[in-house]
DNA sequence: CTGAAAGCGCTAACAC
DNA sequence: GTGTTAGCGCTTTCAG
């Protein structure tokens, strides 16, 4: 039973109630060091009875550890933080942190000022960092002191383990599907140039096209729907005989469909459209969007976990992306 | 210039560098108490030069404050945490916390065990709480000790200031639009029964119907698209002459449209459909979804801010919801 | 195996 | 105005 006290119990209270010293109580609770079964039991009972919860601030202070995990998103402006993708990452990280008495902070890392990362590294309140949309310059700016407590969702480096979706595999699956259903002039709307991890799906595209002896038709995108709309027009103007468009994100794909529609092009009748991410609304759009899955929550959970556990981590972990065939392609 | 040190600077270092005592440095940095302009300048310079960042753990410890803001979401199962809406709230809260050296934690509050809230209240690591999807029993379970550092997104109480969208106003705007465009048999798919704040739009619906002398046609929903699909069939079966459906969320509305389509009903030709929330993809669906805006980010920001600032807060703050007319109604 | 004691970095009385 | 001092709650040597 939890006894409701006016003032939350401290370790001192627990120790007194258990008839042991603070040190012993601490050892039992932190699970570090030795303690007799008897002492252990009494401490556990006292903890339970008083509803004791360790004060994470005190703990962090004495251990020299931080109290929050920083999610740092690289981007040109702070607008990159206004993104459902970032929201997912932050929420997933928060779920991982909560049981440990930690919190999550959200930072924008200016793309052209990667030194900002050092600030974060020096903040004694930060126990670890999860990088999002990382670039090579940012990775190069990672100070030694961050070793073992930083991970990246996207590309990684020798010092920074990476966690990401296998966009190469997902893209290949989508493109094979397009090819298998008879499409032969397949254009792709890519992600932003500066985002290296977006390059993997472009490489997959080039390779599939080469193997199939098909022409390469690339249009630069930025993951947004707005850009997708414009990109659709661009594709139509440059290569009027295009019969399929693969977009690097679902939002872009939806924009592409809207753009196509406006020009009187039928989807998937005239042009098939496929996206990437399988966002919740992909299956609700009309036509339902063919896409590839992207387990953002699981990826972010793994990255946050790796940072908190400070456990040896493989340099790169890829999460499979599966084709989700629906109506648009 | 930030001088890169092996060990992050402490207040002690700053004080020494500025030639003052720790207290004076503390006063200047925390902005509390007096300090001569001269001392102030020297401290500021030292902070800058050493790249000093206060240790939030130490600060929280001595002040008896927490180091994280808890976002607590009420629901039957922990699955309520898997919701883009919750993601938005958490991310917005994280942005507010970050500059203060705080983090965000995410908790599930079992709907049938509101006592869980006491646990949170006793956790000395928690500096404040933002309630999401609150119910009356949860509000009743708020302990005194939380006064002044808790806010609710949704319904509030005497002890808990609330921040929410004006769903009554938004619903009214949508319904007037439906009526103005000639719809006369308007059904509504509601939110879950246990969620009181969802009741406001139902009340608005009842009132508009009464004033217009139109029949009330209510189907219970749960904000999901899946339920929307089923609800569409239910509406069609019970009231075949329905010419408009207002859904309490965009996801539901999109589900309704899908369900309608499957039955060969044209939207908006045969039945107009309107949603609520204006999620990013509302404008990308086909037909583009008519809806009412819902500034989740601003609401969450305000709620988090209020909790952190511990500033006197009006008992209820409503954020306007505006009609966003598109193609579906 | 256990307790005493020394701090972690900071703030807030309280003297000067 | 400024410095001195006493902790906040916890972990961790170091003796017993």
Q: Give the pLDDT confidence of A189-213 residue by residue, as tens digits.
A: 999 999 988 899 999 999 999 999 9
Per-residue model confidence (pLDDT) at position B30: 85
B147 contact A CB<8A = no
- Residue A327 has a CB neighbour count (10 Å cut-off) of 14
* A and B: number of Cβ contacts within 8 A: 194
Q: How far apart are CA B316 and CA B162, in angstroms?
A: 5
Query: Which residue has better confidence, B64 or A191?
Result: A191
Element (H, E) at B252: helix B250-262
Q: Is the distance between the Cβ of B76 and the closest atom of strand C smaller than 7 Å?
A: no
User: Tens digit of pLDDT for each residue in A214-270?
Assistant: 999 999 999 999 999 999 999 999 999 999 999 999 999 999 999 999 999 999 999
User: Tens digit of pLDDT for each residue in A165-182?
Assistant: 999 999 999 999 999 999
Residues of B in contact with A71 (CB under 8 A): 94
- Chain A (273-302) residues lying within 8 Å, Cβ to Cβ, of chain B: 279-281, 283-286, 297
Question: In percent, how much of chain A has pLDDT > 70?
Answer: 98
User: Tens digit of pLDDT for each residue in B192-201?
Assistant: 999 988 899 9
Residue B6 banded pLDDT, cuts 50, 70, 90: low
In this complex, which of B51, B82, B102 lies closest to A103 when CB atoms are compared? B102
Per-residue model confidence (pLDDT) at position B210: 98
- Residue B83 has a CB neighbour count (10 Å cut-off) of 19
Which domains, and CATH codes, for chain B? 11-54 (1.10.260.40), 68-165+297-319 (3.40.50.2300), 167-295 (3.40.50.2300)
A98 contact B CB<8A = yes
Question: In percent, how much of chain B has pLDDT > 70?
Answer: 98
Whether residue A41 has pLDDT greater than 60: yes
Residue A119 banded pLDDT, cuts 50, 70, 90: confident
Q: Is the distance between the Cβ of B64 and the closest atom of strand D smaller than 7 Å?
A: yes
User: Tens digit of pLDDT for each residue in B214-224?
Assistant: 999 999 999 99
Q: Is the distance between the Cβ of B29 and the closest atom of strand D smaller than 7 Å?
A: no
Residue A2 banded pLDDT, cuts 50, 70, 90: very low
Q: How far apart are CA A45 and CA A296, in angstroms?
A: 40
Put simply, the answer to whether A98 touches B107 (Cβ < 8 Å) is yes
Per-residue model confidence (pLDDT) at position A6: 61
Longest CA pairwise span in chain B (Å): 83
CA A199 from centre of chain: 17
Whether residue A4 has pLDDT greater than 60: no
Query: Which residue has better confidence, A215 or A32?
Result: A215
Whether residue A5 has pLDDT greater than 60: no
Q: How many helices (H) and strands (E) does chain A have?
A: 12, 12
User: Tens digit of pLDDT for each residue in B85-110?
Assistant: 999 999 999 999 999 999 999 999 99
User: Tens digit of pLDDT for each residue in B9-43?
Assistant: 899 999 999 999 898 999 998 888 788 888 888 99
> CA of B51 and C1' of C4: distance in angstroms?
37
Which of A281, A283, A307 would best serve as a mutation to test chain B binding (most B beta carbons within 10 A)? A281
**DSSP string for residues in B174-220:** HHHHHHHTT--SEEEE---TT-GGGHHHHHHHHHHHHHHT---EEE-
Q: How far apart are CA A69 and CA A104, in angstroms?
A: 5
Per-residue model confidence (pLDDT) at position A3: 47
List the alpha helices (DSSP H) in chain A: 11-18, 22-30, 37-50, 56-63, 84-97, 116-122, 136-140, 167-180, 196-212, 225-238, 250-262, 296-309
Whether residue A150 has pLDDT greater than 50: yes
Whether the predicted model's global pTM rises above the 0.75 cut? yes
Residue A184 banded pLDDT, cuts 50, 70, 90: very high
- Which structure tokens are listed for A125? 């309140």
């Amino acid at each position: 039973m939890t006894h409701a006290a006016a003032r939350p119990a401290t370790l001192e209270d627990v120790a007194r109630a258990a008839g042991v010293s603070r040190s012993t109580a601490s050892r039992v609770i932190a699970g570090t060091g030795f303690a007799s079964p008897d002492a252990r039991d009494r401490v556990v009972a006292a903890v339970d009875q008083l509803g004791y919860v360790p004060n994470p601030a005190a703990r962090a202070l004495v251990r020299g550890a931080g109290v929050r995990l920083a999610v740092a998103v690289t981007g040109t402006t702070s607008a990159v933080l206004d993104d459902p993708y970032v929201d997912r990452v932050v929420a997933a990280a928060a779920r991982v942190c909560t049981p440990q008495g930690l919190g999550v902070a959200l930072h924008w890392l200016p793309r052209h000022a990667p030194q900002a990362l050092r600030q974060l590294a020096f903040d004694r309140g930060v126990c670890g960092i999860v990088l999002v949309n990382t670039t090579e310059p940012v990775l190069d700016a990672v100070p030694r002191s961050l070793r073992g407590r930083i991970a990246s969702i996207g590309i990684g480096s020798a010092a920074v383990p990476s966690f990401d979706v296998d966009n190469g595999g997902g893209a290949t699956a989508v493109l094979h599907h397009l090819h298998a259903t008879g499409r032969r002039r397949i254009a792709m709307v890519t992600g932003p140039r500066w985002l290296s991890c977006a390059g993997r799906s472009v490489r997959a595209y080039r390779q599939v096209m080469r193997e199939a002896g098909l022409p390469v038709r690339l249009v630069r995108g930025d993951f947004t729907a707005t850009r997708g709309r414009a990109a659709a027009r661009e594709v139509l103007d440059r290569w009027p005989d295009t019969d399929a468009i693969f977009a690097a994100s679902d939002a872009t794909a939806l924009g592409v469909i809207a753009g196509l529609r406006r020009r009187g092009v039928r989807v998937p009748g005239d042009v098939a459209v496929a996206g990437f991410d399988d966002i919740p609304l992909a299956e609700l759009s009309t036509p339902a969007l063919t896409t590839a899955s992207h387990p953002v929550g699981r990826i972010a959970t793994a990255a946050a976990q790796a940072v908190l556990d400070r456990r040896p981590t493989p340099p790169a972990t890829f999460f499979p992306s599966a084709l989700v065939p629906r109506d648009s392609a």
